[in-house]
């Protein structure tokens, strides 16, 4: 988007909740219909604003989980303990409710098939949400760009989008999905079992010689560790895009 | 929740767009303290302070502070030496 950004006023839009999808015990996807929505790129986010009856307002940023589809905007929100906004979005929001959103926001952590690949996606916790939008954009766009998706979760029940990713990996050539569980592994788990480290990246991620576009999203310590490991493995820093969030905000 | 944890400038993308009228997370900014240059999206942001504080990832100098005291948001430009925008 360099040099082509169209100045526009960022305005709050009223979106209606059309569906709530339970993703895990701690995360839900909120499917919104937002009249006036201008479309977006995979990786972008929105600001969500809640207004209490007394006028108090709280605002948070959430990644969009799926590529542009008319007025539809899908967010996936994970519960932040002691959070101010996420408990409401997860426990109280229901179909027919309205939210104020503005966006799309972000010109840095974005991908669309025309930007090429191969695509190396590495997410920690709910940091996989914008990466899922990229996987969906790759598959829905009919692109044949090779994608490797590495998701780090504390335990198997906290893995987001597992069924859909299993289907995409099975049905779409060139889409590989890998999980690592950092705290607990169920009996019979055959995936990885530790935090993402240099050795894991060397074994399972695209090598620096393949010049992948790398997108890393998650809590700040996760992103710092993964991004520096990638650079140490020879990936060019400008091919490693990062987005850090939490444990703040909520 | 740690009070020391930072996120990055992407979280302020909406506020920056409001200030500059354009997408800014992929635009470069320069620290007036140490001269480090990086995209606005890569700057460190502390959101648990009474305002949102953007700091230089290299030297931790405070670049920008946004405080919200209804009905206004006050933008304190501290050590942000410059930021680039599209010329067109």
Bridge partners of residue A152, in order along the sequence: A124, A180
Give the chain B residue whose CA is nearest to the CA of A241.
B42
Tell me the pLDDT tens digit for each residue of A128-154.
999 999 999 999 998 999 999 999 999
Tell me the pLDDT tens digit for each residue of A110-128.
999 999 989 999 999 999 9
**Res. A50: pLDDT tops 50:** yes
Q: Does A52 touch chain B (CB under 8 A)?
A: no
**Res. A109: pLDDT tops 90:** yes
Tell me the pLDDT tens digit for each residue of A158-213.
999 999 999 999 999 999 999 999 999 999 999 999 999 999 999 999 999 999 99
Q: Which of B1, B8, B13 sits opposite A105 (nearest CB)?
A: B13
Q: What are phi and psi of B23, to 5 degrees?
A: -65, 125
Q: Does A170 touch chain B (CB under 8 A)?
A: no
What is the per-residue pLDDT for B88?
Answer: 67
**What value does the mean pLDDT take over residues A224-248?**
89
Domains of chain A, by residue range, sit at 13-105, 113-245
Give the chain A residue whose CA is nearest to the CA of B44.
A244
**Res. A3: pLDDT tops 60:** no
Q: Which CATH class is domain A13-105?
A: mainly beta
Tell me the pLDDT tens digit for each residue of A74-104.
999 999 888 889 999 999 999 999 999 999 9
CB neighbours of residue A167 within 10 Å: 13
Angle A85-B20-A63 from CA coordinates, rounded to 5°: 35
CA distance A181 to B55: 33
The tokens describing A94, both together, are 């229901």
Spell out the residues 6+ positions from residue A53 whose beta carbon is closer than 8 angstroms to its own. Answer: none
Q: Which of A8, A47, A220 sits opposite B5 (nearest CB)?
A: A220
Give the chain B residue whose CA is nearest to the CA of A110.
B26
Cβ contact A9:B21 at 8 Å = yes
Question: pTM score, two decimals?
Answer: 0.91
Do A57 and B70 make contact, defined as CB atoms within 8 angstroms?
yes
Instruction: Give the C-alpha distances (Å, rounded to integers) separating B71 from A58, A108, B19.
Output: 13, 30, 16
Q: Which residues of A touch B25 (CB under 8 A)?
A: 105-109
DSSP string across B16-79 = HHHHHSS--TTSEEEETTT--EEEGGGSEEE-SSSSEEEE-TTT--EEEEEEEETTEEEEEE-S
* Domain A113-245 in the same topology as domain A13-105: no
- Fold classification of A113-245 is Rossmann fold (3.40.50)
Confidence of residue A248 (pLDDT cuts 50, 70, 90): very low
**Res. A249: pLDDT tops 50:** no
Q: What are phi and psi of A156, to 5 degrees?
A: -60, -35
Q: How far is CA A159 from the centre of its chain?
A: 12
The tokens describing A18, both together, are 């059309």
ipTM of the complex: 0.83
What is the per-residue pLDDT for B2?
Answer: 41
Cβ contact A240:A223 at 8 Å = no
* Ranges of chain B whose pLDDT falls below 50: 1-3
CA distance A222 to A215: 13
Q: Which residues of B touch A106 (CB under 8 A)?
A: 10, 13, 23, 25, 41
CA distance A139 to A178: 17
Q: Between A and B, how many residue pairs show a Cβ–Cβ distance under 8 A?
A: 88
What is the per-residue pLDDT for A1?
Answer: 45
């Amino acid at each position: 988007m360099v040099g082509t950004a169209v100045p526009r006023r960022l305005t709050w839009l009223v979106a209606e909740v059309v569906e709530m999808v339970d993703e895990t015990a701690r995360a839900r996807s909120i499917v919104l219909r937002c009249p006036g929505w201008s479309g977006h790129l995979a990786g972008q986010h929105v600001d969500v604003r809640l207004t209490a009856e007394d006028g108090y307002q709280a605002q948070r940023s959430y990644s969009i989980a799926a590529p542009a589809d008319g007025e539809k905007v899908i967010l996936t929100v994970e519960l932040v303990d002691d959070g101010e906004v996420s408990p409401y979005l997860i426990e109280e929001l229901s179909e027919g409710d309205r939210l104020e959103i503005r966006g799309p926001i972000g010109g840095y952590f974005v991908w669309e098939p025309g930007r090429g690949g191969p695509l190396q996606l590495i997410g920690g916790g709910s940091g996989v949400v914008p990466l899922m939008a990229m996987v969906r954009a790759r598959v829905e766009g009919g692109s044949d760009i090779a994608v490797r998706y590495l998701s780090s979760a504390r335990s198997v029940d906290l893995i987001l989008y597992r069924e859909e990713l299993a289907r995409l990996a099975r049905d779409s050539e060139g889409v590989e999905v890998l999980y690592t569980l950092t705290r607990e592994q169920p009996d019979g788990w055959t995936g990885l079992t530790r935090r993402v480290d240099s050795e894991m990246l060397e074994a399972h991620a695209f090598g620096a010689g393949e010049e992948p576009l790398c997108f890393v999203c998650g809590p700040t310590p996760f992103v710092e560790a993964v991004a520096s490991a990638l650079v140490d493995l020879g990936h060019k820093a400008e091919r490693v895009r990062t987005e850090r969030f939490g444990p703040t905000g909520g | 929740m740690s009070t020391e944890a930072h996120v990055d400038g992407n979280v302020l993308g909406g506020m920056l767009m409001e200030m500059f009228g354009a997408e800014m997370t992929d635009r470069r900014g320069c620290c007036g303290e140490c001269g480090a240059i990086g995209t606005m999206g890569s700057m460190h942001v502390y959101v648990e302070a009474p305002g949102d504080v953007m700091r230089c990832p290299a030297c931790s100098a405070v670049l920008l502070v946004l405080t919200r005291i209804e009905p206004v948001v006050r933008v304190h430009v501290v050590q942000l030496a410059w930021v680039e925008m599209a010329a067109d």
